[in-house]
Structure 1
Amino acid sequence: MGLLVDGVWRDQWYDTKKSGGSFERSAAKFRNWITADGSAGPSGDAGFAAESGRYHLYVSYACPWAHRALIFRKLKGLEDHIGVSAVHSDMLGDGWTFQTDDHGATGDRLYGLPFARDIYLKADPKFSGRVTVPILWDTERETIVSNESSEIIRMFNSAFDAITGNDDDYWPADLRAAIEPVNDRIYETFNNGVYRAGFATTQEAYDAAVHPLFDTMDWIDDRLSEKRYLMGDRLTEADWRLFTTLVRFDKVYHLHFKCNRKRLIDYPHLWAYTRELFQVPGVAETVNFDHIVRHYHYSHETINPHRIIPINPVIDFAAPHGRA
């Protein structure tokens, strides 16, 4: 993954020497919000009103952060209102590209541009930072609304309800205070923890990431022995934020990122829970295992220099979950 510096592309990986071998994720740079009436959200500028057909979502099927946005687009009935372009699974010297010689890759459906970085440069010709997905684009103002997945899913959760008539709420007001610490622990030690383990370049950095990761998996499995979902009997954003890492765990993170103390399928409650979420209507359609497996093993040359794609375990996510 490269980056832009004052609008110029550099094929440059994260410099873990500066961080003692630890992977440090860059913060998202675009933090505007779509709101029902166009008023300003918690950050950024006003002027991004919810309108059918105005916004476009750029994703990678491989990326768990982009996957969150795809799931919320599906669950909230936004497919007829927000278009999607999917990048190629390989992320090499040019970063994410819009090549189409890959199952599911669509090309740039708005502008026909060759690289995801071109979308960033269209928003800001002097942009500096990592070129990440998801990208939520405003076709009216021709700029990026947001590239922060945790905020995009909250926009999708409620901003378009008056347009779609879908008022399912995955960020309910009465659970928000309880959801936040759950989100924080899962993000730090699990969602981002798999990357901190996988991209570590010292034993110390790896150990510091991998042990809390499995402590959290143990904690979640225990929690799910008493609760159907993370927050009780209601599906919330906390579940979907967790799911996109879980669904990739045995096929990618266990082997490729050396998160191999246990497999997802070794956790009875966590594995059944993952199958249940996978089987929620429409969710399986957002999962592209071909992209997921190909992307990680082919793109990360520092981890897999010969770019050999493993055969991987056969895992039946459609098996009955038994969680009534």
Structure 2
Amino acid sequence: MKKRQLGKQGPMVSALGLGCMAMSEFYGSSDDAVSRTVILSALKQGLTMLDTADTYGAGHNEELIGKVLKDWTGEVFLATKFGIVRRPGEYARTICGRPEYVKQACDASLRRLGRETIDLYYAHRIDDTVPIEDTVGAMAELVHTGKVRYIGLSEPAAATLRRAHAVYPITAVQSEYSLWTRDIESQVIPAMRELGVALVPYSPLGRGALTGKLDRQQISQSGDLRPLLPRFSEKNLPANLVRTGVLFDMAAAKGVSPAQLALAWILARGDDIVPIPGTRRLDYLNENLGAVDIILSTEETHILDQAFAPGTIAGERYTPEGMAGLNR
């Protein structure tokens, strides 16, 4: 597995990480035994970064990873998050970045993970009722006490990132980024590169829309979040899927899968980018790992850039409630 440095002052991690959210909720039912197999297989193949959050399955995701890591003695870089507060089984949320909550959430995550230190701790969303300086100040204290090694922000605006970085070095920004979602290219990515901050894209495969395997009937099953999202509505999804034809045709011509090509496009955007495609299937994991060896020509990159130009995908990424704390 190829490696990349996570930020100007950060550690070396695998060029791809593994997003673990779907192993607990939002994409239909899951099986802990299968998830365990996928996580261990990823680690054995050199994928070192696992990504979770305290809100995924109301702590279940962190507990799952904690149990898996009891049997793992090799390298691992564990990232988790705080700040989205939900009742178990409900989508409704509040955003909390209060200093006292930051510390409470960290202690709770450490207990569930069964670890003494979190490698990378993110503010999951930006609480606009609390100065970012206060939130990051509390996160910095966690570093000083040895409970956290590096800190990050998820979905910040460029100005917020600069203010946060002035308090304590931000190692990584986690934001949705893919051919389907390119909002951060105009302001956030330039700010990150100015400050030496890495980008960790989540949903790099457009929540399955860029894989060629999206089953609209299957995602309508109970527990799958996607039908609630504007981009996956009956109005927007058909037109959005038409745009993926360019990706699928190029993938066929190169002899790779659409998912591999979509990930290769992101990896080619810069060595400071470490995508975290999520999956709970072993075959999809192995497919995704193959993306690190794909090289795109300048012409191929240009074709994809034009076909998925920013603003061409119809619909917001989340419901109005889900947009809370984004780009703040």
TM (norm. structure 2) is 0.30
Q: Which has the higher strand share?
A: 2
Higher relative contact order (CA 8 A, sep 6+): 2
